[in-house]
Amino acid sequence: MSNDYGIQEALKALGLKEVNAGTSTGSEFFGNGDIFESYSPVDGKLIGKVSSTTAEDYEKVMTTAQSAFKDWKVVPAPIRGEFVRQFGNKLRDLKDPLGRLVSYEMGKSLQEGWGEVQEMIDICDFAVGLSRQLHGLTIKSERPQHSMQEQYHPLGTVGVISAFNFPVAVWAWNAALAWVCGDSVVWKGSEKAPMCAIACQNIFNMVAAENDVPAGLSNIITGDYTVGEMMTTDKRIPLVSATGSTRMGKIVGATVGGRLGKSILELGGNNAIIVTADADLEMTIIGAVFGAVGTAGQRCTSTRRLIIHDSIYDTVKEKMVKAYDQIKIGNPLDPTNHMGPLIDTMAVDTYSKALEKLVAEGGTIIREGGVLTGEGYESGCYVKPAICEADNSYQIVQDETFAPILYLMKYSEFDEAMGMQNGVNQGLSSAIMTNNMREAHLFLSATGSDCGIANVNIGTSGAEIGGAFGGEKETGGGRESGSDAWKAYMRRQTNTLNYGTHLPLAQGIKFDF
């Protein structure tokens, strides 16, 4: 392998250029907006240049996407599923180069980059099976010789706004389901990882060229938040699925809701692991360390808080510090490194200020953080993961910091731990480490975790495709991926069929004339 860890070969395999048009309706790429640049947080080098989407470009995309929807919605769902199957297979063929690009443009480890592409493959597999199961219900009618049923129809053109931390998988979660449901998709990828979006569109086009699918089934737009606003304010888009900060989600939710559109919001997380006196400490340390430092703490499911029983607090703290001392930080394409960089220097500044705020509020840093400099760290985006002692009430603990900062805190009674776990505004992921059956079931009960994801004896980070993904409270309440999340991409219709010779009215109403 070359010294660049195969990046140039990956860019070539994915059809990427030095200068790329950032707008596409199917295989047609264009872009009349300003040119911006994508630099890697790994080494600070320029990956490529991209043209942003103008209002005129956007109108062309929407016209094509709506036309594609009209054609695609009448294609039988299993045939739509066959196309998605082929797309998943193409991802299998290109898993290595796409995973390398994700790692290089975003900064996560190569194993995580490959894992993200595997998530894309998995959702395609899920969607293929789903294409033969877009089922409704049969319902008994109160009227004689009547039948009722519920069915689902394609919704329209779906808008997707994704974040930098999962620059390809979250789009696929939405797109694969939307396609089998009969929808077209317009995707605004993160302006911090635009090359990943263009690469995915190129992969889509490879498969589309071998199939009779309408132009505009998959579309990309590129740029800053103003480009996203084109979708959120557009009545032609009945559903916007947005992933990002709670601040962003409140704006998107209000804007889309203001025009009575629907939204799927996947927003911030402030995830905790409760470590009970009966916990398996080996499993605890593995789950906590990966949850806290995986993707350099830039997952919405990253572990932010460890709520530890006071009888084992010192032991867990000591084990965590020793584990952190073994973490290797550096180029994420090097498989010997565990943690790569933050996305950019702005994220580094946020990380540094968070540690300052912690100390100002009375917290203690027990495993020192800091910005790394010197050979291999020239991009200025590498930091050391920090472990801190804090109180759950601190404002900096209440806020989500997208960085590898872990807060340790004590509890003595189970109810106290649950109060701390639930005592934040976010409600995405949660976990408990225990061998006590009663505690495990209490954690999963209605009086337990208030999060959309609640795990026992695994960490907060990492979710399987089969389950619906999402959270409550300021996490937005949306659900993506598995289970019945597909229903959000369709419109529900209730039908009543009278196969008799009379017209009885509901509720026994008489209307004689």
| Strands 262-266 vs 271-275: parallel, antiparallel or unpaired | unpaired
Counting every residue written for the chain, the total comes to 513
Q: State the Cα–Cα distance between residues 208 and 282, nearest whole angstrom.
A: 48
Beta-strand runs (E) in 329-391: 364-367, 370-371, 383-384, 386-389
Specify which residues 159 forms β-bridges with: 186, 240
Catalytic residue among 124, 196, 300, 381: 300
CA distance 458 to 455: 6
What is the number of alpha carbons within 13 Å of residue 95 lying toward its C-beta? 15
Q: What is the distance between the alpha carbons of residues 331 and 382, in angstroms, rounded to a whole number? A: 9
Cβ atoms within 10 Å, residue 437: 10
Catalytic residue among 105, 266, 474, 480: 266
- 300 classed as catalytic: yes
- Helix axes of 169-181 and 110-130: crossing angle, nearest 10 degrees: 10
d(C-alpha 165, C-alpha 297), whole Å: 10
**Element (H or E) spanning 440, and its range?**
helix 437-444
CB atoms within 10 A of CB 45: 12
> How many Å apart are CA 199 and CA 10, to the nearest integer?
10
Please name the amino acid found at residue 432.
I
Positive or negative CA dihedral for 171, 172, 176, 177? negative
Helices (H) and strands (E) counted in the chain, each on its own, are 15, 26
Taking the C-alpha atoms of residue 345 and residue 190, their distance in angstroms, rounded to an integer, is 16
Quick one: residue 405, left, alpha or beta (phi over 0 = left, psi -120 to 50 = alpha)?
Answer: beta
Q: Is 266 a catalytic residue?
A: yes
CA gap 22, 42 in Å, rounded: 23
> Dihedral through CA 298, CA 300, CA 303, CA 309, nearest 10?
160
Contact 291, 303 (CB under 8 A): yes
Q: How far apart are CA 476 and CA 426, in angstroms?
A: 9
Contact present, 199 and 98 (Cβ < 8 Å):
yes
SS3 content of the chain, % helix, strand, coil (to 5): 40, 25, 40
> What's the rounded Cα separation, in Å, for the pair 120 and 118?
5
Collect all residues with Cβ–Cβ distance below 8 Å to 3 and sequence separation of at least 6: none
How many other CB atoms are found less than 10 A from the CB of residue 477? 18
C-beta atoms surrounding 205 within 10 Å: 17
What amino acid positions are annotated as catalytic residues?
A: 266, 300
